[in-house]
Structure 1
Amino acid sequence: MLELLFLLLPVAAAYGWFMGRNSVKHKELKGRANITRNLSSGLNFLLTDQEDKAIEQLLELLDIEAATIETYLALANLFRRKGDWDKAIRIHEKLHQLKLPKPQAQQIQFELAKDYFSAGLYDRAEKLLVNLVKSPVLAEAALKQLFSIFIATHEWHKAQQYSDAVDNTDSRSLRIAQANMQIEALKPQAQQTPDALLQLAEHYPAAIRPKYELAQWAISRQQPQLAKSALLYIAQHKPQWSADILPMLQQCELADDEWYQLLSQLANKQHNISAIVELARWLAEHGSATAAEQFLLDKLKQQPGIRLFQQLLQIRQQQSAPAADVLSSVEELVNAYLEKKSLYSCRNCGFKTRKHYWLCPSCQQWESVEPIRGIDGR
């Protein structure tokens, strides 16, 4: 009898294992069926424009299945793009409560911060972003979002505490933003000294504003050599700014040959319109009107421009007294045309304006608004 009992024990164990496995499978299938049913119900609510009910239905699934995080992130981002920030916040806050791996949790935290920013809840967004500045993956994105908050609130001084974090990134745009925001922070306290501007110019060579502000300060204090050094740096590294810096350089006591060499380089190598116009004037004054006219005609063949044509009209009027009245009328029409044209455009978003902004009002990028190019350009 005992021998028979021992023979039956393995059979009983195998039967128990088999039934238990079937029970687990049954529970899994039942759970998946519930998830599918709830997901289908949530999608039906979305299709029938019952978004609030859809969100409630879909959020219930988070307590059952956290493997569909990407789906919820996509849904929340869709709501944010539509401007439904409260719905995006509800989804991201629910996801933020889950115990997830650190990279996934930080990504959700960053998305939630963007929701708060879009909704105007800057203090909440800032608290979340501060914790992400040291993240090896999200540091740069978190800093850019933080700077967007400081721009929106005009809290320029806060940017300086992240200067080390900015230096640890490879982002050129962050360095330019840091330099500009520090200059903005200096202005109200009237601390915009040459030492502070020189320090910013040396630390952030990609930014042109520190040198531009330094040149303006030096010209106002009658220090032409300091202004000249700063402006020549801009001319070399940012020749597209010639339209604004050439009038300033004229106040810096440049020798005739130095001025000619600078204009020649900008006109012939960089093909800058403003430099071509100034060089034509120099040729007319120090050479002959005929040489200036021929120079402009050659340049017009290479790169047609309204301002080059305007300068050609002025030189022709000086040469031909009988045709002066007719040419003067044409010049007035050209002037009227140019007065309506934009002087600056943003290289990032295409925003156009007659006034210069260090921060583009449209895309909120620093130093992206530059003198306009092309046939109407300078």
Structure 2
Amino acid sequence: MPELLFLLLPVAAAYGWFMGRNSLKHKELKGRANITRNLSSGLNFLLTDQEDKAIEQLLELLDIEAATIDTYLALANLFRRKGDWDKAIRIHEKLHKLKLPKLQAQQIQFELAKDYYSAGLFDRAEYLLQQIVSCEPLREAILKQLFSIFMATHELNKAVALAAEVEKTKSKSLRIALANMHTQTLQDKLSEPAQSEVLPTAYSNNLAELASRYPQAVRPRYELAKYALLQQDTATAKGALLSILKQKPQWSAELLPMLSQCQMDADEWYQLLTLLADKHHNISARLLLSEWLAEHGSTKAAEHYLLDKLRQQPNIRLFQKLLQLRQQESAQAAEVLSSVEELVNAYLASKVLYNCRSCGFKTRQPYWLCPSCQQWETVEPISGVDGR
């Protein structure tokens, strides 16, 4: 009999293990059934436009199962896109309280900060973003969000303080944004009555440093050239303007009049205009070349030049210049041509001069910051038939 009991012990142990495993499976299946039932209930509330009840139902699941975080993130982002920021905030705040891997927790914190930004709670958004700005996978996106906050709150000096973080990224747009905001802070400081007499040299040096550190940006060099001309420092202005033209020849309409004040010799000026006109097909350079030909050669030579360029590249401004030259030749034709020129002027007065290469925003005024998409230095002179 004891031998029989000894033989039955393994059987009893196996039976106990089998029943215990079935019990765990039963509990797991029951838990999953509860999750499925709650999830289905929450989705049903969503479908019947009972969003508040849906959120409460779905948030209860977070205490049971954290593996569905991606679903909640998608739901919160959906609410944010719809403008239901309070609902998105509630979901992200609940997720933010969970114990998650560091990167996932930082991602949720970033999403919560975006909710706060959308809701106009800039201080809360900034606080959360400053905590995770060194997170490498998210650094660029976080900096862009912080810069948006600083522009909204007019605290551009805070962007300057993040220069070291910007340098850790490869983002050209962030460098351009930082250069523009830093330039604006320098201009604001210079305009203060108490500083206007003691900072001119420092202002010029700071702009030169910015231009050297951020060659991708146009504004520091442009402001440096404009200020240098006011100080009659034509050498500094010339260097800055030529540097911009080499990088952005489409800005010739704005820069060539400034460059003409920099005491360039005749040959250098002619070579520059020829380069811009022939290599870059710039309309402003061609207009100035036609004036040069009329002054140093003859009106006929200028007319032939304009006609040749009009055949290559039709442009209303070149046509307008041709009309002006023709009026100088014949008093009889001047009356007729002047009426045509008036029509051309009226046409040009209605046309935009700049557009944003990022969002397509059109305007007659130049902007460093696009009013539409809030991108820096994307509003540029237009090209084509109406271009300059």
TM-score normalised over the length of structure 2? 0.95
Number of the residue aligned with 1:328:
338
Which residue, 309, 320, 325 being the options, matches 1:299?
309
Number of the residue aligned with 1:107:
107
Amino acid at match of 2:83: G
Number of the residue aligned with 1:169:
169
Amino acid at match of 1:142: I
Number of the residue aligned with 1:118:
118
Shift of 1:344: 1.4
Q: Distance in 2 between matches of 1:233 and 1:34?
A: 68
Q: Distance in 2 between matches of 1:188 and 1:345?
A: 27
Q: Distance in 1 between matches of 2:283 and 2:38?
A: 65
Shift of 1:252: 1.0
1:240-272 Cα distance to aligned partner (Å, 9 max, x none): 111110111111111111111111111111111
Number of the residue aligned with 2:64:
64
Which residue, 215, 223, 226 being the options, matches 2:236?
226
Displacement over 4 Å in runs of 4+: none
Q: Distance in 1 between matches of 2:122 and 2:129?
A: 10
Which residue, 280, 284, 291 being the options, matches 1:274?
284
Q: Distance in 2 between matches of 1:136 and 1:317?
A: 65
Map of 1:14-53 to 2, 5 A cutoff? 14-53=14-53
Number of the residue aligned with 2:84:
84
Number of the residue aligned with 1:187:
187
| SS across alignment from 1:374 | coil
| SS across alignment from 1:345 | strand
Number of the residue aligned with 2:329:
319
Shift of 1:22: 0.7
CA-based RMSD of the aligned residues comes to: 1.1
| SS across alignment from 2:65 | coil
Identity %: 73
| SS across alignment from 2:387 | coil
Q: Distance in 1 between matches of 2:82 and 2:311?
A: 49
Amino acid at match of 1:194: S
Q: Distance in 1 between matches of 2:347 and 2:369?
A: 27
Amino acid at match of 1:162: L
- Give ranges in structure 2 of 5+ residues lacking alignment: 191-198
Number of the residue aligned with 2:96:
96
| SS across alignment from 2:162 | helix
Q: Distance in 2 between matches of 1:277 and 1:373?
A: 15
Shift of 1:188: 2.3
Number of the residue aligned with 1:265:
275
How many residues were matched structurally?
378
| SS across alignment from 1:370 | strand
Shift of 1:320: 2.8
1:170-217 Cα distance to aligned partner (Å, 9 max, x none): 001111111111111112221562101101111111111111001110
| SS across alignment from 1:42 | helix
Amino acid at match of 2:93: E
Amino acid at match of 2:84: D
Number of the residue aligned with 1:203:
213
| Larger displacement relative to structure 2 (244-253 or 189-198) | 189-198
Shift of 1:321: 2.5
Amino acid at match of 1:149: I
TM-score normalised over the length of structure 1? 0.98
Q: Distance in 2 between matches of 1:330 and 1:296?
A: 17
1:74 aligns with 2:74: yes
Q: Distance in 2 between matches of 1:377 and 1:224?
A: 28
1:11-39 Cα distance to aligned partner (Å, 9 max, x none): 11111111111111111111111111111
| Larger displacement relative to structure 2 (270-279 or 194-203) | 270-279
1:301-344 Cα distance to aligned partner (Å, 9 max, x none): 22221111111111121223221111111111111111121111
Amino acid at match of 1:286: H
Q: Distance in 2 between matches of 1:291 and 1:2?
A: 126
- Give ranges in structure 1 of 5+ residues lacking alignment: none
